[in-house]
Structure 1
Amino acid sequence: MHITTADFIDYFKSVTEMIEKEKDYLCELDRKLGDGDHGVTMSIGWQAVNQKLNNELANESDCGKVSSTIGMTFLNAVGSSVGPLYATGFLRGGKVASQKSELTDRDLEEYWIAFINGVKERGQAKVGDKTMIDTLEPALIVLQANAGGTRNFAEVFSEAVIEAEKGMKSTTNLISKIGRSSRLGERSLGVQDPGATSAYLILAAFLDFIKIKTLA
């Protein structure tokens, strides 16, 4: 599989559309754990990204420049803690994709490994804290297990998303240990974490994207 810069841009546009559709759902989850604005926050960030995609990045040929610009745009648009997390992920991924107009299976694998490691290092959360890491870490384990291997990327990423979904769903039975929702203590039980949910949706959107690319 080869993903061109134009394909990459199309994927990020699809994330914007997906976030708009899921905005109310993400806010509903967040109302039970925080300020109730996670969906709005994600929407603000991705709408800013979409504006860049349609203007400054419309004819960009460097996948790394696209990813890095998305990271900084998201950070500048979003004031909450999620801004630096995603920004770091996209900046790290941008380094992997730097000066590449096409991304191979190996490039894509390295991109998502770098993205997740960037989020992890910036946030310092661990599995069980009831955060987006509960979604991202299981996906990372699958990707790293195949790092440099010969397996088809689409197949590996599909498995990664399955594990990410399990991780996301596991947050329902966790007590929040980090951030504002940690003040709720046991009252945070029974609610799926909104950050874990949006992280899953972003990964799932990429899986949907590459499935369409494979069929095209």
Structure 2
Amino acid sequence: MTRITAEQLVEILRTVARRIDEAREHLADLDGAIGDADHGRTMSEGFAAVVRDAQDAAHAGAGAADLLPIAARSFLDAVGATAGPLYASGFQEAGRRLAGRAELSDGDLLTLVAGLGDGIARRGKAVPGDKTMMDAFGPALRAIAAAEASDADVGAALGLAARAAAEGRDATRTMVASKGRAARLGTRSLGHVDPGAASAAIVIDALREAFEAIRAARGGRG
């Protein structure tokens, strides 16, 4: 098993930022239907800030786990919208769980996803079914727990998490929003995919993609 260095974690975050930026207009369109159409911009700017500051810290000698509280501050500083405090809380929780590790193991990526989801849930006080990003994170975390219980490898666990997040995202189309700005629409939010769930599904799938790239570079081991 190869360890994940701070520099590799920056590349993982860079993959997330790239995928979010590619979906920027799509996320804006989703948000425009039930919100104020700024979700794509804020998520793109937030992850761009995360990559910039994490890269600077890694170059200065920070350990891999040290990048996560830095990511929390960066995202919060860059994003004043609802997603800012939520993802900041997620990165902070992931950093707390992995504190002190100069390098991460493959399995620590699962801890990172779980920390993100649990931190977001605690800050937002949302659960699956509320038509929020937790409709992607919740199923993803359950998939990870089931995969770990069956001794699935990290790649398989991340694949299952990404699939569950996508299914959760799609399920928001049939939900009435009960949290956030979209809750003001009541039943008019029916028929629309929640933008927060859509971006969360992108984040989780990008983490899967980045891990697969690392595994391919090491010859498929891990």
TM-based fold match above 0.5? yes
SS of the aligned residue for 1:63 comes to coil
Once superposed, which parts of structure 1, at least 4 consecutive aligned residues long, lie more than 6 Å away?
Answer: none
Cα deviation code 1:78-132 (max 9, x no counterpart): 1111111101111111122222122223322223222211111111111111000
Identify if the C-alpha distance between structure 1 residues 94 and 148 changes in structure 2 by more than 3 Å, giving closer, same or farther: farther
> How far off is 1:151 after superposition?
2.5
- Kindly indicate whether the alpha-carbon contact (under 8 Å) linking 2:131 and 2:175 is maintained by their aligned counterparts in 1: yes
TM superposition score normalised by structure 2:
0.91
CA contact (8 A) 1:127 1:134 kept: yes
Which ranges in structure 1 are unaligned for 5 or more consecutive residues?
none
Give secondary structure in 2 for the equivalent of 1:86.
Answer: helix
Q: TM-score, normalised by structure 1?
A: 0.93
Deviation at 1:5, TM superposition (A): 1.7
Does the aligned pair in 2 maintain the 1:176–1:185 contact within 8 Å? yes
Counting only pairs closer than 5 Å after superposition, residues 1-216 of structure 1 correspond to structure 2 as 1=1, 2-147=3-148, 150-216=151-217
The answer for unaligned runs of 5 or more in structure 2 is: 218-222
| Overall identity of the aligned pairs, in % | 33
Instruction: Map Cα deviations across residues 128-164 of structure 1 (whole Å, 9 max, x no partner).
Output: 1100000000111122234476321111111111111
How many residues are matched? Answer: 216
* 3-state SS of paired residue (2:23): helix
- Pairwise CA RMSD: 1.6
Inter-CA distance 84–176: structure 2 relative to 1 (3 Å threshold): same
> In 2, Cα distance between the equivalents of 1:124 and 1:40?
24
CA–CA separation in structure 1 for the residues paired with 2:210 and 2:57: 23
For 1:105, give the aligned amino acid.
Answer: D
When structure 1 is superposed on structure 2, of 106-115 and 10-19 the one drifting more is 106-115
Moved more, 12-21 or 172-181: 12-21
Distance in 1 (alpha carbons) for counterparts of 2:216 and 2:167: 26
